[in-house]
Amino acid sequence: MSSSSSPGHTDVITKRLILRPWTTSEATTVLDDTRSTHWAGDFPAEGDRVVAGLFDQHPAWLDAYGHRLIIERESGLVVGSIGLFWPPSEGVLEIGYGIVASRRGRGYAPEATQALAEFALTAPEVHTVSADVELSNPSSIRVLEKAGFHRWATEENAENMARFRITSPDHSRR
């Protein structure tokens, strides 16, 4: 993974992907149901529309440690989105992700999740990146496991959630 900086944002670059912060115009395009030639045919998914609609309420999500578009390096197409729900709470930051159906099964979700989690852990106020996943979503559980997250709790009640996290190596465990 490498990061490249330009004024106002930082791209996170992996072997096959570029994780680039959303722009307000891209969010507007998603919300207006306008197509872009730079999108995979099935982008945006419903989760992308939801996130785009929340940027007004959460402007920090557009900053360096916020939400990003997942761009396939080979084609240059947006194939999903991934985000950090900034700001952190007591050093913990939540991550969420989604890859469009046409690009699933290629390992993009774990690759993006691992890279963005590693990037998030470089923020001085972050020591842990977490994700909650419904137990009925084994694909998402596998994504987190492949990305290096560890299950630390399971809520088998009304929530039926598995809780995952990855912690900075220099953070003391409680």
Give the three-class secondary structure for 78.
strand
Low-confidence ranges of the chain (pLDDT < 50): 1-8, 172-174
Element spanning 111, H or E = helix 108-120
pTM: 0.91
Residue 167 near residue 173 (C-beta atoms within 8 A): yes
Non-local (6+) Cβ contacts of 136 within 8 A are 160
Given CA atoms 19, 25, 31, 32 in this order, what sign does their dihedral have? Answer: negative
- Output the pLDDT for position 113: 98
The confidence score (pLDDT) of residue 158 equals 63
Q: Which residues pair with 9 in a beta bridge?
A: 6
Give, in order, the Cα–Cα distances in Å from 21 to each of 5, 17, 119, 130, 154: 11, 13, 13, 20, 32
User: Backbone phi, then psi, for 3, in 5-degree steps?
Assistant: -120, 140
Distance CA 163, CA 134 (A): 9
Please give the class, per CATH, of domain 2-167: alpha beta
Predicted pLDDT at 6: 37
- Do the Cβ atoms of 13 and 3 come closer than 8 Å? yes
Beta strands across the sheet bearing 67-72? 2-6, 9-13, 17-21, 67-72, 78-89, 92-99, 128-134, 161-167, 150-155
87 upstream amide cis, omega within 30 of 0? yes
**What are the pLDDT digits (tens) for 88-126?**
999 999 999 999 999 999 999 999 999 999 999 999 999
Which of 39, 135, 118 lies closest to 81 in space, CA to CA?
39
